[in-house]
Structure 1
């Protein structure tokens, strides 16, 4: 369990049409680049938060792509998706599973998925078990890195996260 004070990163857009749940808590993939899970977390610094978006491969449990920024706008998650696409070159039809946050249900994210042949998928609102793999990864990251350090600057946090992701 995290000891951090809460920062809400999932903000649903009630007007947006979310993708259906293609995963249904079955986080099993027969090979790499079939099912990716994704989410956003935050890292507190003395200068304010750094937000981290991660795309994780369900087969290998390895990071396929990630992005960091001082904001939680849609480009944070599209940048993480772009890195995953650039590093993995998946076949069309890879499932990208996330929560129903406004970044993942945005028109821009949907268009990027369509252009890349990615099938978006979302779990139910407020149910962490629908994206358990990425939640588990973030719990480990918080316990092993974020909760053990105090970051003075955003760039200091970004360097530590960059090292951890490598």
Structure 2
């Protein structure tokens, strides 16, 4: 029997086979996305990353401020909304309110609503509400201070919802 010395002395090399076996755990794809899987939201809809970021930035958001106001005057000062908010959309009160209850809203010491009706700005105002808030669009700078002053005859308990982008 004749042995080919060339094959015996120099077996064919499998490139990286031993390294692959040693490092198999480190190179594991467990918990990782498959190659070619989009790594950002909106990619499945065909959006680019910049379009997806723009869409996220333009999503309406809501901040709820719970309050308990006794009869008389009640102030909600220094309401902070996120610094990346660019547009105040509007508001809604969740308590039904008395017909005589009023409020004043100011953004950066600029009165937007003066003696507005709490009952009119709540969901059960006997009107058909067409959106999730009552619109009072105002531009925001990122360092805005919102303040509300309530005048109530019998007291109120509820949540003031602020809608913004």
* TM-score for the superposition, normalised by structure 2: 0.23
Between Structure 1 and Structure 2, the one with more strand by share is 2
Question: What TM-score do you get using the length of structure 1 for normalisation?
Answer: 0.23
Decide which structure has greater helix share.
1
